[in-house]
Structure 1
Amino acid sequence: MAAACTRVTHQCRILLKTVSKQGQNSRRLGTSRLTEVGKLVLPKPEAAKYVTGELFLHKVFGYRGVILFPWEARVYDRDAQSQERPPTSGSYAGQEVKSKTHSYYQVLIDSRDSPYIRAQTEAVTFLGNQDNSRSLYAIPGLDYVSHDDILPYHTTEKKPLVHELFDRFLVPTEEGSETQFTMRDTLRAWQDKNHPWLELSDVHKETTENIRVTVIPFYMGSREAQNTHVYWWRYCIRLENLGDEVVQLRERHWRIFSLSGTLETVRGRGVIGQEPLLTKQQSAFQYSSHVSLQAPSGHMWGTFRMERQDGYSFDCKIPPFSLESKEDSSSSTPTNFT
């Protein structure tokens, strides 16, 4: 099928299962609607990067998005490592895992799709810098997307994406019958200003019994609190069911090691107040959280307790990842546009 003739119809998979708005207690299915948004084009190979302004559909979550700018990340894939050199002990704990460079992208999410995707749409957070407070604030509708998860498309719409930052960051240009988008100076300035807080450098992956866990950590800065220095990180976690069995996340178990010599254990039900179900139709779930240390670096690792429909439970490994700080600058206060 010729790529230029392939029509893109946007239909969020979760929309088919939303509860009808006709009464809060109703369990009837909501009405879905197919809408043509453009024409699919062939995905680019890894060597050919996507550029600012390119539109895409997310291969896993199904939302419409637009590329803001790329990152080159070091991907530590324990699955690939085990294929190259099977471990004798069944674990890579304490063993070095080699990284490979892979392209990721900072993107905007269409706000019309946000209610129907199983990913937090306020996953990019910053430390506030007012009166040395410890407050956090979030930028809604930002995500980090792997090159492999992008399905690019073209459109003739002048404003194909609904997001409060779309017009501030991008300007449309005509290319034949299609509309393309280029970077405004405001996006370039915003990227330069917020680079320390947005930068994606490391990605960690590991699969246990067909459940793949991907972790991306970010340094957020430090604060003085009660006569001690506190360092903050956020981390984004994506769980994917690569198999056919329905699996539900029941518990989390974290171990957090600080360079100061402390080792903390954290247990709890679910994640961010949820116990997500991973099915073949809705195979992925993504969320973000935060951690603080009284030291400039440390490590985190752990497990998710997963349960199948037949009652079988197993521990899904969360790959170990480093918490590394960067030099703080008093002038690099994060900026937003709210």
Structure 2
Amino acid sequence: MAACAIRRGLLSTASKYNQHKCIHRILSAIDFSSGFDPKRAQPLCSSCGLTSFQQTRFLSSRNRPEGKILEPVGVFEALKQHGKYETGQLFLHSVFGYRGIVLFPWHARLYDRDVSPAAAAAAAAADDRYVRTFLGLYLIKLFSLCYSSMVLFVVCFFSKPDSVGHGSKEVKGKMHTYYQVLIDTRDCPHISQRSQTEAVTFLANHDDSRALYAIPGLDYVSHEDILPYNSTEQVPIQHELFERFLLFDPSRNPPFTARDTLRAWQEKNHPWLELSDVHRETTENIRVTVIPFYMGMREAQNSHVYWWRYCIRLENQGNEVVQLRERHWRIFSLSGTLETVRGRGVVGKEPVLSREQPAFQYSSHVSLQAPSGHMWGTFCFERTDGSHFDVRIPPFSLESNKYDKAPPTGYPL
């Protein structure tokens, strides 16, 4: 059972009990009992030498024992209604269910095409009247004949009011906090079908190269997707960069502080990591969020080629099961060209969005022979009865910046 299925069940149950002004403890388990077949390590970046282990899930026909061992791993903390989470904050991702740790924040402009100014003010006032309380976090391990795997957590909280409906399409950017985070590598195989764990990519450090390299287990997380918790473990997150970037300091809260290597890496790679604009729009209960990133410029055949990465999250906010079938993009370049791109699915997949697994997130790339442009389009979804409907992709700008020199050369480790 997927992590977000449990999360949605917890939210629904907690909302029901909250009507009686009570706090109830909810215990659920996520079964990740399928084994994993580790493949040999493959380097992703020749300049930094970091490796990624490609892993393949498989199901065994053997009977698996039902014994469970409950191990406490931490305690949920109160959500931050104001301010931001600090470097070293442990968290559970509220949508994809993975464990992670905050490296540093980004301040982005959120263009939400679903929220009118009056509704946004009402939602902000409602936020101040609701408090979510988190009482505990536990990790359950299922032990089989050959493999053990993680399953999940205890959450107690008050529910939050539903999101506001559609309003004016005149969109003004509102400042919103996102975080650069590390994903626990133990959780990556469990989310790989719903969220790419190698989605943060860079241009290679050769002026005439269009090759990309990825940093495994690096992600961007919105403030509202952070479910903070604390732990007494000195290494609560498994990631090859964890101990290179963070230092355990029990006198601090959270008890992890940035090493000089993290600060140097952030400063050096800031132009290619920076998140500035977020675009969001909902059509027929399917919310599309787009985040573009400028990657740099390359020279090819005596012309300049500008590259962008864009991250897209699809979320089913309704009860109906739908499947993404096609994408339809329009790409306009400042040079005057307009390109149309059609294709099946996205990144080779046609994800199903349901109440149990409502979200899918992926990244892709686009290049233009101009320093700026625009993208917009639609996704075609299919219902269970065979009917189809289009979901709008919010229009967004592709803007280059002053950092049009060579992209980063790797990690300053």
> Shorter-chain TM-score: which interval?
0.7 to 0.9
1:259, CA displacement in angstroms?
0.3
Among residues 345, 361, 365, which one is paired with 1:290 in the alignment?
365
Letter in 2 for 1:246: V
Correspondence for 1:135: 211
Q: What runs of 5+ residues in structure 2 fail to find an aligned partner? A: 1-13, 15-23, 38-56, 121-165
Aligned 8 A contact 2:281 2:289 in 1: yes
The structure-2 alpha-carbon separation of the partners of 1:163 and 1:277, relative to structure 1 and needing over 3 Å to count, comes to same
> Following the alignment from structure 2 to structure 1, what is the Cα–Cα distance between the partners of residues 36 and 211?
37
Instruction: Report whether the alignment pairs 1:252 with 2:252.
Output: no
Structure scoring higher RCO (CA < 8 A, sep ≥ 6) equals 2
Aligned 8 A contact 2:296 2:404 in 1: no
Partner SS, residue 76 of structure 1: strand
Superimposed CA distance per residue, residues 103-135 of structure 1 (whole angstroms, 9 cap, x where no aligned partner)? 110000000000111110111111112253111
Correspondence for 1:326: 401
Aligned 8 A contact 1:10 1:37 in 2: no
**TM superposition score normalised by structure 1:** 0.87
Instruction: Report whether the alignment pairs 1:51 with 2:86.
Output: yes
Correspondence for 2:123: none
Correspondence for 2:110: 75
Correspondence for 2:236: 160
What does residue range 178-327 of structure 1 map to in structure 2 within 5 Å?
Answer: 180-327=255-402
What does residue range 109-128 of structure 1 map to in structure 2 within 5 Å?
Answer: 109-117=183-191, 118-128=194-204
> Following the alignment from structure 2 to structure 1, what is the Cα–Cα distance between the partners of residues 64 and 301?
51
> Following the alignment from structure 1 to structure 2, what is the Cα–Cα distance between the partners of residues 284 and 134?
30
Partner SS, residue 260 of structure 1: coil
Instruction: Report whether the alignment pairs 1:173 with 2:249.
Output: yes
Q: What runs of 5+ residues in structure 1 fail to find an aligned partner? A: none
> Following the alignment from structure 1 to structure 2, what is the Cα–Cα distance between the partners of residues 56 and 318?
29
Superimposed CA distance per residue, residues 125-170 of structure 1 (whole angstroms, 9 cap, x where no aligned partner)? 1111225311111111111101000000010111000000000000
Superimposed CA distance per residue, residues 3-23 of structure 1 (whole angstroms, 9 cap, x where no aligned partner)? xxx999996x5736x5798x9
The structure-2 alpha-carbon separation of the partners of 1:275 and 1:27, relative to structure 1 and needing over 3 Å to count, comes to farther
> Following the alignment from structure 2 to structure 1, what is the Cα–Cα distance between the partners of residues 64 and 354?
20
Partner SS, residue 189 of structure 1: helix
Aligned 8 A contact 2:311 2:364 in 1: yes
Letter in 2 for 1:79: D
Partner SS, residue 80 of structure 1: coil
Aligned 8 A contact 2:326 2:345 in 1: yes
Correspondence for 2:161: none
> Following the alignment from structure 1 to structure 2, what is the Cα–Cα distance between the partners of residues 330 and 318?
31
Partner SS, residue 267 of structure 2: helix
Among residues 94, 103, 106, which one is paired with 2:180 in the alignment?
106
Partner SS, residue 15 of structure 1: coil
Superimposed CA distance per residue, residues 282-311 of structure 1 (whole angstroms, 9 cap, x where no aligned partner)? 111100000000000000001110111121
Correspondence for 2:162: none
Letter in 2 for 1:199: E
Instruction: Report whether the alignment pairs 1:37 with 2:73.
Output: yes
Correspondence for 2:32: 15
Superimposed CA distance per residue, residues 79-121 of structure 1 (whole angstroms, 9 cap, x where no aligned partner)? 0039759xxxx998xx752111111100000000001111101
**TM superposition score normalised by structure 2:** 0.72
Identity of aligned residues (%): 65
Question: Matched residue pairs, number?
Answer: 323
